Amino acid sequence: MPIAHRIPKLSRFTGLGILVVVVIVPVVLVGIVVWSKIRARLDPPPAIQHAAATEVTGYDTLATSTANLDRLVVSKIFIGPVVDRPQDRIVAPGATFREIGRPSSPGSEWLVHGNYPDNCYVSVDRVIGSDALSAIAELSDTQRDNVARGESLLLSMEFACGEG
């Protein structure tokens, strides 16, 4: 068969290839992105589920945030009244806590560490000093002053999964 007869057949396949690249591939990619967003809302990662289920009796949730460090880390900040053992007010379904009670970073005290059965954990700090207080942008000036004067107590929790 001469080459002149093959060219029309090749041009049909080339046109089909361009159609696939220009139309179908972007539609598939958009579909994958949309599905991943929907799935993340319907079935959030375990660290987010644990953070959402955790409360501190008598305290208000000040902020919840996420960061992707070497893994997903969810931070949750609570503010409430000054009590001797704020860790006794933590309601974290499935977590088993152990007392730590030592400084963790300048301006904070590591109160407890909790483990979940699914290889996730929560670390709870009491924020007491100006270094740690200044790092919490969600605090109002009044709240920051109340914590600094010892009139309110601030708890910082970090949730993550895996080794850590």
Of 8 and 108, the structure prediction assigns the larger pLDDT to: 108
Cβ atoms of 111 and 87 within 8 Å: the answer is: yes
Position 71, amino acid:
R
* pTM higher than the cut 0.75: no
Reported confidence tier of residue 107, pLDDT bands at 50, 70, 90:
confident
Tell me the DSSP string of 63-118: EEEEEESSSEEEEEEEEE---S-GGGGEE-TT-EEEEEEEEEETTEEEEEEEE-TT
Please report the pLDDT score of residue 97 as a whole number: 96
What are 133-148's pLDDT values in tens digits?
A: 878 888 888 998 899 8
Distance CA 112, CA 60 (A): 19
Q: Which amino acid, one-letter code, is at 156?
A: S
Question: Which residues, in sequence order, are CB contacts of 61 under 8 Å at separation 6+?
Answer: 55, 76, 77, 78
pLDDT > 90? residue 10: no
Strand partners, 82: none
The model's confidence at residue 69, banded by pLDDT at 50, 70 and 90, is confident
**Closest to 150 measured CA to CA, from 164, 131, 129:** 129
CB neighbour class for 110 (10 Å; exposed up to 12, middle 13-18, buried from 19): middle
Q: How far apart are CA 144 and CA 134, in angstroms?
A: 8
Task: Judge whether residue 131 has pLDDT over 80.
Answer: no
